[in-house]
Amino acid sequence: MPCGSGAFSIGWAGVILTDGRGNDAKGLDERIAAAKLRATPAVSAHARAESRGWAIGIEFVGAILVSGMIGWAIDHYLLHSAPWAMIVLLVLGFAAGTRRAMTTSAQFDDVSSNDPR
């Protein structure tokens, strides 16, 4: 039994709020998709490529720094063999960072949306 302006109606389960746009699943999906399009900022291909490049560089430097710190800690606290563990782990960190950078950049090259058109 509708009451007033149609903002709510009373049914067997109590008060049911409606917005007058229909409550079918297709209409709801369309409204959600439209709201996502309005809320999603437009990002250019150049900005995406730049952020991915920064991510690769940060991962590369991070791998070297973390491995160097672990090597320093091993030298300083465990083996007392400075600087050999740090040197070995820096070389391994450089290799791991290079491998990670090459893998990640290959993944970015495979995505066709990365190419500005």
| Count of all residues that appear for the chain in the document | 117
Residue 106 has pLDDT above 80, yes or no: yes
Cα separation, 86 vs 74, in Å, equals 8
Residue 11 has pLDDT above 80, yes or no: no
For 10, phi then psi, to 5°, come to -110, 125
pLDDT reported for residue 1: 45
pLDDT reported for residue 24: 64
Give the Cβ contact number of residue 18 at 10 Å.
12
Q: Confirm if 68 and 94 have CB atoms less than 8 A apart.
A: no
Residue 13 has pLDDT above 80, yes or no: no
The whole-model pTM stands at 0.57
Q: What are the pLDDT digits (tens) for 67-97?
A: 999 999 999 999 888 899 999 999 999 999 9
- Listed range (33-47, 49-63, 74-88, 96-110) with the worst mean pLDDT: 33-47
Dihedral sign computed on CA atoms, order 91, 94, 97, 99: negative
Average pLDDT of span 34-62: 85
pLDDT reported for residue 20: 62
- Report how far apart the first and last C-alpha atoms of the chain are (Å, whole number): 57
